[in-house]
Amino acid sequence: MFTPLVSINRTVTTAARCKRRVVITGMGVVCPLGVGAQNAWQALINSKSGVTRLTEPDYDKLPCKIGALIPKGDGSNELDINSHFSKSELRTMCPATAYALIATEEALNDADWKPKDEIDKQDTGVAVGIGMIDLVDVCTTHEALKNGYNKVSPYFVPRILPNMAAGQISIKYGFRGPNHSVSTACATGAHAIGDAFRFIRGGETSVMVCGGAEACISPLSIAAFCRLRALSTCKNEFPCEASRPFDKDRDGFVMGEGSAILVLEELNHALERNANIYAEVLGYGLSGDAAHLTAPSEDGTGAILAMDRAVKDAGIDSVEITFVSAHATSTPLGDAIEIKAIESFMGQHKRNVTVSSTKGAHGHLLGAAGNLESAFTILAIKESIIPPTLNLHNLDGETSLHFAPNVKKTWNATSRHVALKNAFGFGGTNACLCFAEYDE
């Protein structure tokens, strides 16, 4: 019997209902499932996979030879980075920043929000994080230094600073609201959205551009995560089958890359300009495991606390939640603990809850995981579809929770659609976001 250490008071607080409401009015995506939010979403719900073989010779000597790469090319679903930036511009930024800028352009166009008025620019902020710096950039610059001081690029430092995606976005569009960046490993993107939500709800600004970006797939990073025994190594010949959240044969995660950006907006601000509303952000919860550098607490306390705080912050009861977009990365330990935590938190209501992890399709985007999966959660709410967990053939253990193995499910709810999005990171940092169908 799983008994968490934390004791949860399920009394619904009403303080959250008196705060400013925050809605999502725009989204942009660059990820292994494609470029463009709708392109990626359609690939996801059609059970496509973005995991491929890593073909560079340096990967041949590593235990893991697969990754989830953004499709490159000039197709409508592919990325041609040279069509977005000049060579001189690319010298000033790391690939993750470039992905964030591309996703931001789509999100702002989607929201129809590119203000020219100075007051509107001052009322628009940015919260975008990067989980890991570009290790290849560090290594090549170190080698360049051996050939002389002048061989070090003057843009080296800006390229490796985790806050430069936020900075570049702010500079490009002239946004003078909060300029914020977090770097909390695999919880980065979710924390960025949650912090942006609080900035708007607290009255500091009316619009926030938020999310995360990651582009650190390289032989060095793959080798490092292999040394941690974190990556899948058993499906090198069958890449599409490697990421398998909740499946009893899972053996580790698949590293991915990309960015997803959301435009959050104060409700009245959105209504006044007749903006399209995807969904509403209801709550945000954070916690620390205080247990281990890389592993979650075995009793699930960290995850339970984050979910509980998000629900209390939302001012709702857990029985309103019928979908949990799990962090589940396809690691043997993490997935099992998260399922137990969700079961414990939901109590008897767990029989009415469906859990899914989209990482089976796009791998684990590290610092861009929580925000990409938030975008998919929001689209799930909008379209009443629960996206599938690919490669889930044999559920590990018994549970009363429901799943969406391999194919999408219709999301039936007796009232409005309400979902939780979990995101956990190394160092025991946890985030949970509560999204809901917009209700006038």
State the catalytic residue, choosing from 180, 191, 327, 417.
327
State the catalytic residue, choosing from 186, 210, 432, 434.
186
Closest CA to 310 of 283, 330, 291: 283
- Taking every pair of Cα atoms in the chain, the longest distance, rounded to a whole number of angstroms, is 68
Please name the residue ranges forming H helices in 177-249. 188-201, 219-227
Q: Is 364 a catalytic residue?
A: yes
Q: Phi and psi (nearest 5°) for 23?
A: -125, 165
Q: Is 186 a catalytic residue?
A: yes
- By the 8 A CB rule, do 403 and 415 touch? no
Give the pair of three-digit tokens for residue 235.
Answer: 């499906």
Q: Is 94 a catalytic residue?
A: no
Q: How would DSSP label each residue in 85-144?
A: S-HHHHTTS-HHHHHHHHHHHHHHHHHT----SHHHHHTEEEEEEESS--HHHHHHHHHH
* Whole-angstrom distance, CA of residue 258 vs CA of residue 190: 15
State the catalytic residue, choosing from 191, 269, 362, 364.
364
In Å, how far are 8, 75, 167, 258, 425 from 102, measured between CA atoms? 42, 15, 14, 10, 25
Give the pair of three-digit tokens for residue 236.
Answer: 């090198």
Helices 219-227 + 135-145 axis angle, to 10: 120
List the catalytic residues.
Answer: 186, 327, 364
